Structure formats: C-alpha cells, structure tokens
C-alpha cells in the first residue's frame, strides 16, 4: 500500500473507530486505488483522500410520530452529505431498524464513486432512519414520512441535495415525503426527490433500473469471456425492487432463476421463479416470500437460511450489506458458481471478495454493477428540469449505454493500473479519478 494511502487509512480508523461498515468500505476503496498514487503524486500533495473520506456535512435529527393506537414513537433521522464535487448530493433514503451512522456513512461514501462512474453530474450522499416500516399501516408510514420531512426539507433542493428511495422507501414513501415537502415549501419542485410515481414526475424505468442495470453489467462481463447468460442457472437473494427486476431481466436474457428470499428465509423453485407471482406478493400485496409456496407447492422454503447453498452458475446478491461471508463464498465456488454480480450495496464481505477473485470467479462490485438505479434517478432529474418525460424504451436504452460505459471504464482502468480483469480495482480507480480531478480543479474548499 502506498505510504500516503496507509497514512490516511490510519487517520480514518482513528477518527471513526466504532463505524465498522464505513471502515470496511473505506479499506476496500483505499486498497484498490493505492497504485494510482504512484502515478499521480499530486493527489497526495493536495491530500485528496483525507478530504474525500470525511463527509462535507452530517445531519442527525429526531423523528417523532404517532401510531394508529395513539402511541408516540421516537426514531433517528440521518442525512450524510459526503461529496458535491460533481453535482448536487444524490443518494437514497433507507428506512430499516439496522440504520445507524456507520451504515449511512458507508452508503454515502460508496455513492460518491457509484455516481461518478455514471458519467452524470451528481455528488454522493445517503440518508434514512432506524424506523421499521414492516407491519405498519399506510397511515402510520405517512405520519412518519411527514415527521421525517419536517426536518429534512430545510436541507434539500433540486440543486442542493436530491434524495431517492432505498430499502424500505419506495414510490409510496416518496409520495408522502414529496407531498409534505410541497406543503412546507409552497413549491411544486419536481426535481427535489427522485423515485416518484409516474404521475408525479417519476421516470419510466426507474423501478426496474437497478436490477436491469445489474444484469446488463453481468452480461457485459460474460461477453468479454465469449459467454452469455443464456442457459445459466442463477440464484438471486432478496425480493425487493432490485431482486425482482434482476429476476425479470435474467429471465429475459435466457437465464433460469431458481431462488428469491426475504429476511425470514428463501424459496427454491427448481422449475424457475414465477416472476409475476413474486412481483404480486411483494409489490402489490406486501406479503412474505413464504406465501409463494401456496401457489407453487412443489418448491422448497427454507426459513432462516441463505440462498448461497443452492448450486448455480451465476449469483446475484440483491438483499443487503455483508450477506455473503467467507463460508458462503466457499460454498458458491464449490458448487460451480463462475460469476457474482452485486445488486445490493456491499453485500459481499471483504475476505469473500478476495476468495472469489483468487478462484477465477468474475466479480462485479456494487458501485459499478448496481449504479443503474442512481443513473435513472439522474435521468429523472433531467426530465423534471426539462418538464418532459421519456418512454420506457428510451430510458432503458440510455441505461444500457450507461452500464456499458461503466463496464468499459472499469476494464480500461484495471488494465492501465496493473490489475487486468479486476472490476473492483477498475471501478474504484475510474470513480475516484473523476472526483479527484474535480477536487483539484476547485482548489482547497
């Protein structure tokens, strides 16, 4: 590791000792980009890394709301504005009981590089709350969203910070948030939130974008090897938007998807996952994945287990961070998996990533492979600014081009800096260079 990079890592570890997810993300990036500093000593002279690893702004606030029984609850709200060199802060809101400052910082830090890779003009941020929407009524979720926006509204704007959705935040929640923002500000500011419903200025294709983009990236990885997804057996974790539309696009390209999951367990359907049933259960009825078995009794449901024990050719972790550990990686390799492409944010532990790479498994890191969601969010911003809308096919074509460009930049940077075929190195260096050039151009600010 370059001495300057090693020095900055020690500073970050001392500064944030109780933030394991954030430190994991920083270590992974710094380890990858170390060779860059031998070629560009000017980055060290300007102390780019230390500046990049400290958020520009961290907002922590109380969220008080009342449930349907009249009980008053208190949650924490967060917004971490990490870097605005390339444009207004951009990143999702996550509502999940696991949310804390470490997770917000890890997600915001990753978002810097992900957004940079898209080639669009958006900075990196993340936000959310430890509120758990599971089992809550629409009215309870509305009241929580209104209380959350009661503080957040003063920190966001179409040219300042543009939140979107993430785990626990879909078009329903974005609608509640936008409605209250409109009431508080007396402005119909379409560009202040993305992931809106199609009738409220949302972009066609946004819901599908992260899953579709992840599969497009995987397809490009295989094409480099003279292969395709057609005929491959795929395992997918999760059953949210990312997983659902990863399943859809894999099936469109001829793969056979045999799993999906939620926090309770997973479904294994050897005949291939029924996409329409999963979409109905999760998007419309908001039920648990166990209900899948009622319509397909031949399938297997395993409570409290992960999908990685199922033999496959390709694997798509689309649930949450650190869902593939070293043992899971060993199992996947033993069972013949030859490609892992991350649909969730940092779903693979650091040691597991290295195990995949050392065993010749193609590995698509999240900051590249799941950038499709934020890319289409930025396209939504463009449509809102122009007071227009594009067709689904237009958006999907733009998404396909963006993912191809991300893939090609990863390949090019990995080759240029001595790690041919290493998408982790390529993604981190390609994302970092664009941000670093901007920071150098702006001077010391």
Quick check: is 45 catalytic?
no
Distance CA 192, CA 325 (A): 37
Query: CA-CA distances (angstroms) from residue 420 to 3, 301, 411, 417?
Result: 23, 40, 7, 8
Distance CA 231, CA 234 (A): 9
Starting at the earlier edge strand, list the strands of the sheet with 339-341: 256-257, 233-236, 314-316, 339-341, 362-364
Helix crossing, 326-334 with 350-358: angle to 10°? 20
- Kindly give, in sequence order, each residue whose CB lies less than 8 Å from that of residue 304, ignoring residues fewer than 6 positions away: 264, 265
State CA 434 to chain mean position distance: 20
Nearest to 180 by CA among 139, 143, 146: 146
Tokens 């419903």: give the residue.
Answer: 197
Distance CA 161, CA 192 (A): 7
Catalytic residue from among 90, 105, 114, 126: 126
Query: CA-CA distances (angstroms) from residue 283 to 133, 193, 196, 207, 239?
Result: 14, 21, 15, 11, 9
Nearest to 20 by CA among 126, 106, 113: 106
User: 334 burial class (0-12, 13-18, 19+ CB within 10 angstroms)?
Assistant: exposed
* 302 SS3 class: strand
Sort strands 233-236 and 256-257 into parallel, antiparallel or unpaired: parallel
Q: Which residues of 138-174 are buried (b: 16+ CB within 10 A; e: fewer)?
A: eebbbbbbbbbbbebbebbbbeebbbbbbbbbbbbbb
Distance CA 404, CA 219 (A): 10
Catalytically active residues, by annotation: 126
């Amino acid at each position: 590791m370059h001495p300057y990079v090693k020095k900055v890592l020690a500073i970050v570890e001392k500064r944030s000792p109780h933030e394991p997810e954030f430190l994991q993300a920083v270590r992974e990036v710094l380890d990858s980009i170390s060779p860059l500093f031998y070629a560009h000593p000017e980055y060290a002279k300007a102390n780019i890394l230390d500046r990049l690893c400290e958020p520009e702004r961290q907002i922590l606030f109380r969220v008080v709301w009342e449930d349907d029984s009249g009980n008053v609850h208190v949650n924490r709200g967060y917004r971490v504005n990490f870097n605005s060199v390339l444009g207004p802060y951009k990143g999702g809101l996550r509502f999940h009981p696991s949310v804390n400052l470490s997770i917000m910082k890890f997600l915001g830090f990753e978002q810097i590089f992900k957004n940079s890779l898209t080639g669009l003009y958006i900075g990196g941020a993340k936000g959310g709350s430890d509120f758990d929407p599971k089992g809550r009524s629409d009215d309870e979720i509305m009241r929580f969203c209104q209380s959350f926006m009661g503080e957040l509204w003063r920190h966001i704007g179409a040219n300042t910070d543009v939140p979107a959705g993430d785990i626990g935040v879909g078009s329903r929640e974005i609608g509640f948030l936008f409605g209250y923002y409109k009431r508080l500000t007396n402005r119909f500011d379409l560009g202040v939130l993305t992931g809106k419903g199609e009738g409220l200025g949302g972009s066609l294709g946004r819901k599908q974008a992260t899953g579709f983009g992840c599969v497009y990236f995987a397809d490009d990885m295989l094409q480099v090897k003279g292969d395709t997804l057609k005929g491959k057996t795929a395992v997918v974790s999760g059953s949210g938007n990312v997983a659902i539309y990863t399943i859809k696009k894999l099936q469109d390209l001829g793969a056979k998807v045999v799993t999906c999951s939620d926090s309770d367990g997973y479904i294994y359907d050897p005949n291939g996952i029924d996409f329409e049933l999963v979409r109905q259960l999760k998007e419309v009825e908001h039920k648990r994945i166990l209900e899948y078995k009622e319509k397909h009794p031949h399938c297997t449901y395993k409570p409290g287990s992960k999908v990685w024990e199922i033999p496959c050719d390709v694997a798509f972790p689309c649930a949450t961070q650190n869902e593939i550990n070293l043992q899971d990686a060993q199992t996947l390799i033993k069972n013949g998996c030859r490609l892992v492409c991350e649909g969730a944010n940092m779903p693979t532990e650091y040691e597991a990533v290295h195990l995949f790479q050392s065993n010749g498994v193609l590995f698509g890191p999240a900051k590249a492979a799941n950038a499709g969601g934020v890319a289409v969010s930025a396209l939504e911003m463009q449509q809102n600014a122009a007071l227009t809308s594009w067709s689904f096919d237009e958006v999907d074509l733009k998404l396909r081009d963006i993912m191809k460009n991300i893939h090609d930049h990863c390949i090019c940077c990995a080759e240029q800096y001595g790690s041919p075929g290493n998408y982790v190195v390529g993604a981190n260096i390609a994302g970092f260079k664009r941000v670093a050039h901007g920071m150098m151009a702006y001077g010391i600010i």
